[in-house]
Amino acid sequence: MGICRIKLEDTVMSACIKMSDGNPGAISVMASMVRDGEKIDPDSFMGGFCNVLELDTLGIYGPRIWMLYKDVCGQDLRVTCAILRANQLGFLSENKLQHAIDNYGEGIDVPALISQVEERLPKFQKAPAEV
């Protein structure tokens, strides 16, 4: 964890641009977080922008945002939000999360982490029922 990029004077857009390092996938993920994050996690402070702040706190920028979303969370925004919440709640260490990003999800049990988050936060959006 280093110095955060987002400053108090940033807008949501300027914060996402700083975080993206020009990576279109990262911009797309953060835009979705801002747009849909509050629906996924209604207890989250600052709605979906809280997820962007969490990425900054963890030092996850640019292509690593996309790697988290794609390689660790299977391109599922709900799962991505749950994994970030798992870290906030102390269920997942920063070191394990960083290792998982660098190694295609290795070392973490994503379904178990989601279950822990859902148990702790009953309003957290459940996965759609499988048909």
Quote the tokens at residue 64: 């690593």
CB 65 within 8 A of CB 19: yes
Q: Show Cβ contacts of residue 58 under 8 Å, excluding neighbours closer than 6 positions.
A: 1, 87, 94, 97, 98
User: pLDDT digit of tens for each residue in the chain (131 aa)?
Assistant: 568 999 999 999 999 999 999 999 999 999 999 999 999 999 998 888 999 999 999 999 999 999 999 999 999 999 999 999 999 999 999 999 999 999 999 999 999 999 999 999 999 999 886 54
What is the spatial distance between Cα 53 and Cα 119, in angstroms, rounded to a whole number?
23
Q: Show Cβ contacts of residue 67 under 8 Å, excluding neighbours closer than 6 positions.
A: 101, 102
The residues spanned by each domain of the chain are: 12-120
What is the spatial distance between Cα 4 and Cα 96, in angstroms, rounded to a whole number?
20
Stated pTM of the model: 0.93
What is the spatial distance between Cα 74 and Cα 95, in angstroms, rounded to a whole number?
20
